[in-house]
Amino acid sequence: MKIPLSKPFLNQKELKAVKQVLNSSWLTHGPKNQEFEEIFAKYTGTKYAVSLNSCASALFAVIKALNITGEIILPSFTFVASANAIVTAGAKPIFADIDYQTSNIDPQDIKRKITKKTQAIMPVHFAGQVCQMDEIMKIAKKHNLWVIEDSAEAIGAEYHGKKAGSFGIGCFSFFPTKNITTGEGGMITANDKDLIQKIKTLMGHGIPKMTNQRLKAKKPWYRAATIAGYNFRMSNILAALGVEQMKKLNQMNTLRRKHAAYLNQKLKKIKEIELPVEMPKTKHVYQMYTIKLKKGNRDDLVRKLKAKGIEVSVHFDPPVHLQPYYKNKQKLPETEKLSRSIITLPMYPQMTKKELDYIINNIKEILKL
């Protein structure tokens, strides 16, 4: 049996939506973007949403729009794009340790890392579970810091009844492994109208209005840049995918949670591994299902599962502070421990009981249970 790490949940509705856009001849940023943004803002409980070409661009654009040039505290236990966005936008990443149980940034270490140069906190909601946002927002308020939520892995996740991306400024990813996909793509959520307008200007070559917004103007050809911008636009084609994916997001997240519950039930007696936890008053949406090997050779287990056709992976090894470009003498013991023990198992909405049982039985067999 072959089981992929992830699999997009697409059907004829997405194909039909894309075909309609192709037939319309409006392929660049257009009407479907606006529809996608309105749906997404309503879903997350924010006033505004802006679609872009990636989450990395979203993070970069937010940092630029906020004029942050100082320090931004984030976890090292994340995909390198989080730190890259900070550096390329002209700021400095400061890595904080994580809470080993949740794999999310430790608010206590955030406090320890704050200096006079700190301007923002970038919590990364790992694998579908929101960070301790009540504590993080208190810290931010006390020190007058921006909060930029890297919500790439947490579309639909909740903390105390609020959606990821609605506490500070949210940045989302629609990569094929995420809870919804547009192939490549991202979204920014916020409640500040002026900030949103600046982001829109930045992402469209510094021109305040997109092409489709200028059509009804007296001089639709008039394009005057007000700032030096970039091209971070999402196409109308990809936005059409996003609209259809949003219609079944709750269904897909429910299936992910169902599969995770089944894995938890069947794997809980294995003493050699530690299962993911869902913290009180949260809703975990399991963009990834990760286990931790308490003892033994993690890499050996990964290789043996792969040999059985199970496309497991590791997120994240090495953590960012140990990667060549960022490497320094900083010690983050919980992060380093986690990166040595974590394993990502396959997780996607349309998994079957047969596939889940195959994963479970092979883990037991390899660990000789």
Tell me the three-class secondary structure of 81-117, residue by residue.
Answer: HHHHHHHHCCCEEEEECECCCCCCECHHHHHHHCCCC
CA 278 – CA 128 distance, rounded (Å): 10
CA quadruple 59, 174, 259, 344: dihedral sign: negative
Tell me, what's the pLDDT at 209?
75
pTM over 0.75? The answer is yes
Tell me, what's the pLDDT at 329?
84
CA 368 to chain centre: 35
Q: Are 228 and 155 in contact (CB under 8 A)?
A: no
Tell me, what's the pLDDT at 369?
61
Helix (H) or strand (E) holding 190: strand 186-190
Strand partners, 190: 48
Tell me, what's the pLDDT at 194?
97
Which residue is listed with tokens 């919590």?
Answer: 123
Structural domains present in the chain? 12-96+103-248 (3.40.640.10), 250-366 (3.90.1150.10)
Q: CB neighbours of 197 closer than 8 A, spacing ≥ 6?
A: 208
CA 333 – CA 72 distance, rounded (Å): 20
Ranges in the chain, pLDDT < 70: 210-218, 220-221, 369
User: How do residues 304-343 score in pLDDT, each as one tens digit?
Assistant: 999 999 999 999 999 999 999 999 889 999 999 999 999 9
Let me know how many helices (H) and strands (E) the chain has, helices first: 13, 13
Tell me, what's the pLDDT at 217?
62
